[in-house]
Structure 1
Amino acid sequence: MMVGSVYISFSTQPSRGPWTVTLQPHIYSQFLEFCGDRDLRKCQAQLLGFESFADMSMQTKMAGSVQEVHSMINSLLKRAKSAQQKELELLEDFAAERGFGGSLKSWDVPYWKRKQQRTIYSYDEEELREYFPLPQVLSGLFTLCENLFGLTIMPQPDVDTWHPDVQYYHILEGGKDTPIAGFYLDPYERAEEKLFVRDDSGWMVALRNKTSLMNTNPLAALVFNFPQPLYGKPSLLPFRDVLLLFRKFGHALQHLLTKTSYAEVSGSSNVEWDAVEVCSHFMTHWLYEPSTLANISSHYESGKPLPDDIVDKLCKVRQHLAGYDLCQELYLSALDLELHTTKEFWLDIVRRLLPQYSSFPLETIDSHPCAFLPIFTGQWGAAYYCHLWARIIAADAFSAFREVDRRNSTEISEIGRRYYWLNLYWRQSSSLFRNKLGGVWGGILLSVEVALRVSHSSLMISDRMKPSGSMVQGVTIDWTADDRDDRGLNLGHVY
């Protein structure tokens, strides 16, 4: 019997299965010669009683239904589409002023986006990295965790590791001497040992879950490809690597700070797929706080902090063409759901959807769904929207800190401890998280602030913490077209 992409056999003989069919060319090319079923995922869903693969996928998601996801997508699109149009008009004017003739095409955008970004937010990226030596960035990150969550992160130089570059850390809580978790940090590139991916060369590896039965603490490894210290200089991080460090460390915190007693549901285990990135995005919001940037930056020679004008530019540059970027994400999310819901030919789906999200027409040579690898070769089939959903919840959680005076460390710590207790300490699934909401989180965490500024007045009335269409009625867009130094939609927290 065949279910999905897996042949299931009741025999234990290796020659008779079960076998997993991957998308490596030498495997799937021969598989296709013998496979007569064109709808494997739909077949799998219907065997389990669901109308489509997308409906089956929603059973393990916070969203709960395809309709809820469409509601979120459509609500955001109303605001993002007009912003995208204005951004592209300004980009085309910018290109024309520099000798570009004709209308922009979609493949022109990356080039002119980079040029416009460097013109508006001019700073030298090589000089910028001199302000982010790795030891200073780690010190500032650990201090942030201490201020927010009451954690102390201590290096343990006597612990054996797999390489001299690797450092082991204990995590202590509330001034106690007994560690509650530990992690390895393997920061530097080693070309002969590590995979390098330009845009995502960092990984959080969960090595051990917490379990009360075996009395074991959670353990993780953070592996990166940061530049090696050379010529007496420390490792100097480009800002994209600083961002990567904060994201992966946020993911590690979700695994390490759990107090759930059972390994099967502790940390990131058993967390809905559209919530698993919440902690990662939550930490990146703190990175863009001026106080955080001041704490993690220090020129490796002079010791001076990052200049205020550069801090301001780093906070603004994430807004550049944010409406365009958001429309792209919304389109891919909608395309993924349609491909896993309807029987339409993929080209007909693209022709129907693309005009709703893009300001560019579909080119005759464009077959981009064929290269939409995450939904075919990864775990994002009927789940690509999860990236946006997690950002919504993370932005909303961070907005709680915007409700208080940033100079009041006591209030900031109280909200940080509450976030720790609700989303890290006891979290094993979103149902538990929802049931424990109350107080400041009952009024703030249930509203939405995603890519756009959203009021806190609309609360969800269902039993799920889900960003539905009615929740973005308070969206406002700050557009400063007359300000040459800040030509962008204030999309808040989408990056």
Structure 2
Amino acid sequence: MTQNPLLIGHGLPPFAEIKAEHVEPAVTTLLTELEQQVSDLETNLKPTWTDFVEPLTQLEEKLMWTWGVIGHLMSVKNSTELRAAYEKMQPAVVQFINRWSQSRPIYEGYKAIRESDQWDKLEPVQQRIIETALKEAELAGVSLEGETKEKFNAIQLELADLSTKFSNNVLDATKAFKLKLTNKEDVAGLPDSALSLAAQTARSEGEENATPENGPWVITLDYPSYLPFLKYAENRELREKVYKAAVSKASSGEFDNHPHIDRILELRKQKAQILGFENYAELSLARKMAPNVEAVENLMEELRQVSFTAAKKELAELTTFSGQPELKHWDIAYWSEKQKEAKFGFNAEELRPYFSLGRVLEGLFGLAQRLFSVEITAADGEAPVWHEDVRYFKINDESGEQIASFYLDPYSRPAEKRGGAWMNDCVGRAKMVVNGHTVTRLPVAYLICNQTPPVDGKPSLMTFGEVETLFHEFGHGLQHMLTHVDYPGAAGINNVEWDAVELPSQFMENWCYHRETLFGMAKHYETGETLPEHYYQKLLAARTYMSGSAMLRQLHFSLLDIELHAKYDPASGETPEQVRNRLAETTTVMKPLPEDSFLCAFGHIFAGGYAAGYYSYKWAEVLSADAFAAFEEAGLEDMVAIADVGKKFRETILGLGGSLHPLEVFKKFRGREPQTEPLLRHSGLLQTA
């Protein structure tokens, strides 16, 4: 019998060989083996780094390799068969993780190391890994007994199941909406790129004769389809229809997430209280950089006051510009685009031909070389992939030695791939002994985007927003790949407090506006002509357009997330949506529509890792803006100075991973604590403050 590909347990997954039917036998076999090995470790416990922490890490990595591959495929190659297999095995995996996390012998083993005379001989990174393991065990209920423990574990199981259901509902609800248009008047205003994509979507839906010129056209809730429609479609009624479909996604019928939200919030509160916390936000912050809920609210409030004033002014100016007596939600993107054109003399679509994916990657990789002295080369065909569009790249250091590699899955595939963009680890860096020799296992990252796919024989022509997203995810990837920590428990993004992980990603976005970087990648896909200077000046001028509204939107999500997890009481009779409407009074300048059920698709907090942590984007943006300010102070046009600061950034922010507390890492780079001034300055909001 051939080996189950999900049991290989190391290296790059052989994606072409993995089938949904492999999931159940692989996970069943693996859990049986791991159970035996963990029991053996507990019975013959020798509390030293070599005899205890290292073997435990290896067992954990075995589980994470197999379950990680399955989870990855759930995100990028979702199918009915895979979903069924995943849902069948998820409870067993959660139960095993609970059993492991709550093991008293393992907990006592870590404590014994901390209390032994070998503690002082360990490196600081090893000590931090052990401290984290102890804290994680306490937060996983290691001290619970009897019925309380059973209840806690039942909550963990149910929460995992609800998270999967929530995510599947969002994917299915997104897929379910299709607006077929046959009348040319209905697509008036749409640019060529949107018409081409809509016709391509129609062809994939069986309309084999669909053309961009004559239709039919199909609009979906997938970002590359939905966003241009709201920005450019002249038909106001259809904009309203598409907008309302988007904000009410997964809020009724078979994909309704309302009951899941109520149950998730109730269970999280119970879980936190079992562990001795007043609410789930306190539990969430127990392993984050922010010291408490008050500190989060203070930063959010400082930014809210500035952005609320600016956003009110922006809306008033937009309404005046539109000439309409009142703007509705589905008018904002449309009139913003028109106002932007009038103010800055260009529209976003004009830039697309200058941002083909191939050219953008050249520019991005050139920047990485200038800042961090690494060379990135295509290695397509050298690694198994899960879809023909997936690319594979290698990273070499200045001496030409390979130090990492990554996959890039760039395009939107709404039928099987969830929305959004993310980075995940495929393989983590580690020093290992293999056949008596010490070797370094090189890190491998997954970079996933959902940008406009190639249409009608043209390459993927990106919006500037899609360029920023690619830079963002690449920033996450750099922290995973350029780490120089050799212990898996703190290499790359492992053991980095969640509210600091967005630092490298948001830092990289700033470089999209850097002259040399932009001109290095903005080349016309047909002629090779560089983006004209006037466009660059207009991009710079437009950078802070509606920045008050953009910041306020993020603060609305962040404060809503904290409120639901810190103060909301399900027994009060108030619904989560009523909480949102109450907060909207001070965090939005246009109140949500009655049918707006945005929470039903808020996967970040109900199906991702951002519960009571969405504030992390703004918290880390303070850090990232301040980090970029170090390059501004050195002189952005001074390539020697930039390379020096880049080297320091690589050695600290990117290199140290989770080996130190993020504030210590930041201070090593910046020489001081972070300040909010650079963020307000970059956002054009300093004068409002």
Counterpart in the other structure of 2:491: 266
Asked if the contact 1:128–1:239 (Cα under 8 Å) also holds between the matched residues in 2, the reply is yes
Shift of 1:328: 2.2
Q: Which has the higher contact order (CA 8 A, sep 6+)?
A: 1
Asked if the contact 2:484–2:656 (Cα under 8 Å) also holds between the matched residues in 1, the reply is yes
Shift of 1:440: 6.6
Q: Where do 1:286-301 residues align within 5 Å?
A: 286-301=511-526
Q: Where do 1:287-436 residues align within 5 Å?
A: 287-342=512-567, 343=569, 344=572, 345-346=574-575, 349-350=579-580, 352-360=582-590, 369=599, 372-428=602-658, 431=661, 433-436=662-665
Question: Could you tell me which of 427, 452, 463 is aligned with 1:208?
Answer: 427
Counterpart in the other structure of 1:227: 453
TM-score (norm 1): 0.78
Structure 1 residues 429 and 394, CA, compared in 2 at 3 Å: closer, same or farther?
A: farther
1:24-44 CA deviation, whole Å, 9 max, x = no partner? Answer: 389999xx89x9998321111
Letter in 1 for 2:639: S
Asked if the contact 2:372–2:647 (Cα under 8 Å) also holds between the matched residues in 1, the reply is yes
Letter in 2 for 1:308: E
Shift of 1:156: 3.4
Asked if the contact 2:395–2:402 (Cα under 8 Å) also holds between the matched residues in 1, the reply is yes
- Give secondary structure in 2 for the equivalent of 1:274: helix
In structure 2, runs of 5+ residues without a counterpart are 1-93, 99-146, 170-253, 434-439
Counterpart in the other structure of 1:66: 293
Q: Which shifted more, 217-226 or 61-70?
A: 217-226
Letter in 1 for 2:277: F
CA distance in 2, matches of 1:170, 1:77: 42
Question: Could you tell me which of 292, 298, 317 is aligned with 1:90?
Answer: 317
Shift of 1:179: 0.9
CA distance in 2, matches of 1:186, 1:364: 37
Shift of 1:145: 0.6
Counterpart in the other structure of 1:109: 332
Question: Could you tell me which of 436, 448, 470 is aligned with 2:676?
Answer: 448
CA distance in 2, matches of 1:328, 1:236: 27
In structure 1, runs of 5+ residues without a counterpart are 1-5, 456-473, 479-490
Structure 1 residues 140 and 36, CA, compared in 2 at 3 Å: closer, same or farther?
A: closer
Structure 1 residues 352 and 205, CA, compared in 2 at 3 Å: closer, same or farther?
A: closer
CA distance in 2, matches of 1:238, 1:398: 23
CA RMSD in angstroms, aligned pairs only: 3.7
Letter in 2 for 1:403: E
Query: Percent of counterpart pairs with the same letter?
Result: 34
CA distance in 2, matches of 1:80, 1:115: 22
Letter in 2 for 1:213: M
CA distance in 1, matches of 2:393, 2:612: 38
Answering whether residue 369 of structure 2 is matched by residue 139 of structure 1, we say no
Larger radius of gyration: 2
CA distance in 1, matches of 2:318, 2:660: 41
Counterpart in the other structure of 1:483: none
Shift of 1:108: 3.9
Question: Could you tell me which of 17, 22, 30 is aligned with 2:162?
Answer: 22
Asked if the contact 1:275–1:390 (Cα under 8 Å) also holds between the matched residues in 2, the reply is yes
Shift of 1:300: 2.6
CA distance in 2, matches of 1:124, 1:111: 12
Answering whether residue 510 of structure 2 is matched by residue 285 of structure 1, we say yes
Counterpart in the other structure of 1:195: 417
Asked if the contact 1:326–1:451 (Cα under 8 Å) also holds between the matched residues in 2, the reply is no
Asked if the contact 2:444–2:481 (Cα under 8 Å) also holds between the matched residues in 1, the reply is yes
- Give secondary structure in 2 for the equivalent of 1:154: strand
Shift of 1:317: 2.7
CA distance in 2, matches of 1:183, 1:309: 35
Q: Which shifted more, 132-141 or 179-188?
A: 179-188
Shift of 1:52: 0.9
Structure 1 residues 196 and 123, CA, compared in 2 at 3 Å: closer, same or farther?
A: farther
Asked if the contact 1:272–1:429 (Cα under 8 Å) also holds between the matched residues in 2, the reply is no
Structure 1 residues 211 and 75, CA, compared in 2 at 3 Å: closer, same or farther?
A: same
- Give secondary structure in 2 for the equivalent of 1:378: coil
- Give secondary structure in 2 for the equivalent of 1:170: strand
TM-score (norm 2): 0.57
Shift of 1:437: 5.0
CA distance in 2, matches of 1:148, 1:38: 43
Letter in 2 for 1:435: E
Equivalenced residues, count: 440
Q: Which has the higher helix share?
A: 2
CA distance in 2, matches of 1:237, 1:365: 32
Shift of 1:275: 1.4
Shift of 1:203: 4.1
Letter in 2 for 1:249: F
CA distance in 2, matches of 1:165, 1:46: 46
Counterpart in the other structure of 2:407: 184
1:362-405 CA deviation, whole Å, 9 max, x = no partner? Answer: 76666655664532333322112112112221111111111122
